[in-house]
Structure 1
Amino acid sequence: MTATPTEIEFDRQITALTEAGCPGLTGLTDADFAAALEPLREVVLAHPESAADHGEDHIPFVLVVARTATGASVDAYEAMARTRLGTKQGFADFEPADLARFRPIDPVEIPDGIGYALLNIDTGTEYLNVTPAAALASLTAMERTGLSVAEGISLLTVRPDMLRKNRCFSLLSSRCGDKRVPALWISQRRPKLGWCWNGNPHTWLGSASTGGRVPLP
């Protein structure tokens, strides 16, 4: 039977995550990592959004690496170091302990397990030059949520082409109790995880969002 485009993309994302070293972040072998995420294939195939195309800011689905085999959160600092734009390695402009303080905001619920499927993602060009605070209010009204740090890193890992000059994006759903909002942008041709203030707009920075999160069955 001929594989569908969604199945081909699923396999491509598993390969991209594996080649980036994500299995090591979870404490699993490459084979066990792929096996752990395999049940998401049917989940993604069963969702109509997985094959939709809504323009250049849209990604139908992303496989998110969330936790280790022992249930701890994947180390975002190390995960960011495994991202690439071409040959340029990504980096986090945080101290590791500071980055680890960022947690999903209410009412965002992160599914249990090693990973999950993020659906109907938009990198948020329409929110260029809009404050993160205003973007969050707009997305909430549309029943969408911003991305977390882990989701942004997973998106960047499997679709580095979506981090584009002057079309970078905030990760609205991870906060640590202050006014900082994590964001992904390009610095010296490298992917950078940094932060901006909740009330500051930037002409080159939008706000990414998702239509939903689907757990492992």
Structure 2
Amino acid sequence: MSHSLSADAMSTLPPLAAQAERLIELGAHELAGLPADTLRAFAVEEGSERSDTLLAIHRELAPASALTPLLCRADKTGFVVEDMPDVDHFAPTVSDVPDAPLYLVGGLDRGDAMANWSPEEALSAITEEGRSPLLLTEGVHWVLQHPDVLERNHCFMTIGSRLRKANGSYDSRTPALWISNGTGRDGRERRNAPKVGWCWWRNRHTWLGIASTSGRSAVSR
């Protein structure tokens, strides 16, 4: 039976100290070229016991292609779809991403209320609410820390990451995270695996929300 996590269940995260240890356990700090103690110290500085915010490594240090294989669901490893070899070129369209190796992402919302909205329709609504669309790498970090946030029939797009073409316009593909059905080029062996794929900018999908954040910060409180 299909169900959906409550807003409280979605927004609850492990304490920052535990998030740091999770990333270290997965080897994400090594992918990013950061000492483990750097993640631990950041968590302490920002409040080790905080569970209302996500610890993220900057996309330039830990791109989506490197982070996605760290995902795991039903003993299946995460993967990027074959027709998205340029996944790491999908860059932020927002201006509030801190220029820092590590930063915090607060007020996460999977965007279930925007299921069956196109990214184009959702962007203005998210902005009008004073929120910011989630980046692809932030979405991957979220699922790394809270795997249950990726549910069948309740997955999400990360429209804060887009690919700019040589002529200055945006590519129509929009990144998203969902669960593979093991069909087509995914391969049957990948059924139930977490997946980074894409949807069209003007298309709607009843099973994809449009994720957002209340804000990002790298400044200690």
Query: What residue is the counterpart of 1:15 in the other structure?
Result: 21
Query: What residue is the counterpart of 2:151 in the other structure?
Result: 164
* 1:107-149: CA deviation from partner (whole Å, max 9, x where unpaired): 4321022211100100011111111111111111101111011
TM-score, normalised to structure 1's length?
0.81
TM-score, normalised to structure 2's length?
0.79
Query: What residue is the counterpart of 1:126 in the other structure?
Result: 113
**Counterparts of 1:23-102 in structure 2 under 5 Å?**
23-41=29-47, 45=50, 60-66=52-58, 72-94=60-82, 98-102=86-90
Query: What residue is the counterpart of 1:183 in the other structure?
Result: 176
Mapped to 1, the partners of 2:73 and 2:22 lie a distance apart of 13
Change (3 A) 1:139 1:23: same
- The gaps in structure 1 that reach 5 residues or longer are 1-5, 51-59
How large is the RMSD of aligned CA atoms in angstroms? 2.2
Mapped to 2, the partners of 1:214 and 1:201 lie a distance apart of 31
Instruction: Looking at secondary structure, tell me which structure has more strand per residue.
Output: 1
Aligned length: 193
Change (3 A) 1:62 1:94: farther
* 1:36-94: CA deviation from partner (whole Å, max 9, x where unpaired): 4432227x85xxxx6xxxxxxxxx31111115xxxx43222011111112422111115
- The gaps in structure 2 that reach 5 residues or longer are 1-11, 164-169, 181-190
